[in-house]
Amino acid sequence: MTRLYLSTTIPYVNARPHVGHALELVQADALARHHRRVGDEVRLQSGTDDNALKNVLAAEREGISTRELVNRNARAFAGLREHLSLSFDDFIRTSSDPRHRPGVEHLWRACAASGDLYRRDYQGLYCVGCEQFYTEDELTGGVCPEHRTPPQLITEENWFFRLSQYADRLRDEIGSGRLRIEPVGRRNEVLGFLDSGLTDISVSRSVARARGWGIGVPGDPSQVIYVWWDALGNYLTALGYGGQGARAGDYQRWWVEADRRVHLVGKDVIRFHAVYWPAILLSAGVPLPTEIVVHDFLTVGGSKISKSAAAEQDSSDPVALADAYGVDAVRWWLLREVPRVGDTDFTVDKLIARANADLANGLGNLVSRVSSLAHAYRNGVVRACRCPNGTSRWLAAAAGGGAVGADWPADAAVLAATIERTPETVRTALARFDFRAATAAVFEIVEQANRYVDATQPWHLGRAERAGDAAAGRRLDQVLGALLAACQVLAAEIWPFLPDLAARIAAACDDFGTLPKPQQLFPRIDRQPGRYPAVAAAAQRESEVASCRVEPATC
Ligand SMILES: [Zn+2]
């Protein structure tokens, strides 16, 4: 058993969440669920960066207080838990959580005690959008490479952190793999950055520049702690770092004594997580994360996601998408389509096409065929076959250890082999954080099971049995038993990725007693024009199927 502390980044909340946030949250959730299911101890951490200057500026633009803006938008981020069926164990808001400020101050004092913090005059080119200073070389034609706006020249006395002292130790931690950065291209990017030489970084700003918003520097009322220091600290402060009693116990248990401390991050914040953060931790005498997992970006309709536009653009609003098309469709697209490396373009049409092909046609049709056949020819009473070797434990769990039906049919060997290898394929894919490979492996069960239906044509067996062929009846028991077993395994295997749909599959295929009446697991979805009305959810509630597609149209 492994003890795993898994975190998402905490987004700044100057606007509502967009589908790019959903990607990281859903990936983290799938990983957490997978590890919980195999018996690991997991704590999944998320939250919001309320103290960013961007939030202050957004509130000024809207003419409301910063507190009002961050409360409103942070609620929208916390609400993703329900809309996207996320299972984070904790959600920290850096402006209001009582654990945060004392922990950040403790981290500051620990670095100060190491002699790594000092004051000096600083003049630099600062991008408010990025909340970071740039050197002349890092600008593109004199403007921020990210925001395409000219940076401001700022002169003030700041606190500095001796980052330059840590280049060798960071190179050693990363080069040795004790701090694993995934994928390897990102690891090389960080090592290249270390080789180019580290300079000390400014880690505070004047209270005036911060508009008085943020956490003050301990003992220096003129300065506010740099928002990145503050935000990165959440990974520790949510565990009660620097606190007393039970709170400190969480830090000991989930950070110091965890086998894996894994940060999921976007490619734009790699330097903060893979260079600044571990250097701060080394200075403070805190163990480093064990893994930093970097994902690339989504574009929407071919363009970079504009966060400020997210509120108006329904096509990038994950809540509107989940309301219109269902959480399963949104999660499935994010996990099934986005490759491990490279940016991916999201469109609503792609989401619909993937959901209809895989969930409505492939998976939904499989389960409704099985339950319809069971009701048509067995009054709903079918027992799942005893599965081939390796998978019996999954089936025993799925069936609550109940009775099992006929032996596995010999002609379902390909289906059996697929079922047997799926858990290991999923495990190895998720060990390299390849969600697309993991979901493809699970979906292979659907494809092989549908092929088995087509090959065995159980409706012909049912008719032959009714015409007096007893052998056809025994064969039908076997075929239905194998298919039912496949669906039960499918429910278990797909659960980390689509927990809602998994629960519906498990309920539809519960062979304790009589199988439930056939229901449509996942209705085909159509594009909703304009603002999406919440029709998909209503359609899913109308689950009684008028005509089940038991037989192919040609039959
Ligand atoms: Zn910028």
Residue 87 confidence (pLDDT): 98
Collapsed DSSP state (helix, strand, coil) of residue 253: helix
Distance 256 CA to ligand 1 centre (A): 35
Which amino acid belongs to residue 219?
A: G
| 133 CA from centroid of ligand 1 (Å) | 9
Can you tell me which residue has the tokens 């101890």?
Answer: 41
CA 288 to ligand 1 center in whole angstroms = 28
Q: What is the pLDDT of residue 391?
A: 52
Q: What is the pLDDT of residue 130?
A: 78
**Residues less than 5 Å from ion ligand 1, measured at CB:** 127, 129-130, 144, 146-147
* Percent of residues, the chain, with pLDDT higher than 90: 77
**Two tokens, residue 325:** 């098309």
Question: How remote is the CA of residue 272 from the centroid of ligand 1, in Å?
Answer: 15
Q: Could you report the per-residue pLDDT of 373-418, keeping only the tens digit for each?
A: 999 999 999 998 876 554 544 455 544 444 567 788 999 999 999 9
Ligand 1 mean position, distance from CA 129 (Å): 4
Q: Annotate 277-337 with DSSP letters as a single string.
A: HHHHHHHHT-PPPSEEEEE--EEETTEEPPGGGTTT-GGG-HHHHHHHH-HHHHHHHHHHH
Query: Would you state the pLDDT for residue 444?
Result: 98
Tens-place pLDDT, residues 176-196: 999 999 999 999 999 999 999
Mean pLDDT of the chain: 90
Task: Give the whole-angstrom CA distance, residue 16 versus residue 77.
Answer: 7
- Distance CA(124)–CA(152), nearest Å, equals 8
Residue 493: CA count within 13 A, CB half-sphere:
31
Tens-digit pLDDT profile for residues 26-81 = 999 999 999 999 999 999 999 999 998 889 889 988 999 999 999 999 999 999 99
Q: What is the pLDDT of residues 482-504, one digit of tens each?
A: 999 999 999 999 999 999 999 99
Q: How confident is the model at residue 529 (pLDDT cuts 50, 70, 90)?
A: low
* Catalytic (active-site) positions: 18, 21, 127, 130, 144, 147, 304, 307
Please provide the distance, in angstroms rounded to a whole number, between the alpha carbons at the two ends of the chain. Answer: 50
Tell me: pLDDT of 549 over 60: no
What would the mean pLDDT of 436-440 be, rounded to a whole number? Answer: 98
**The residue to which tokens 């701060």 are assigned:** 280
- DSSP class of 402: -
Mean pLDDT confidence for 96-112? 97
- Percent of the chain clearing pLDDT 70 (strictly above): 90
pLDDT band at 314 (very low <50, low <70, confident <90, very high): low
Cα of 269 from ligand 1 centre, angstroms: 12
Tell whether the model's pLDDT for residue 289 goes beyond 60: yes
Query: What is the length of the chain?
Result: 555
Distance 156 CA to ligand 1 centre (A): 20
Q: What is the DSSP letter of 384?
A: P
pLDDT at 102: 96
When pLDDT is cut at 50, 70 and 90, the band that residue 551 belongs to is: very low
Q: Residue 12: is its pLDDT beyond 70?
A: yes
pLDDT band at 306 (very low <50, low <70, confident <90, very high): low
Helix axes 458-466, 435-456, angle to 10 degrees: 30
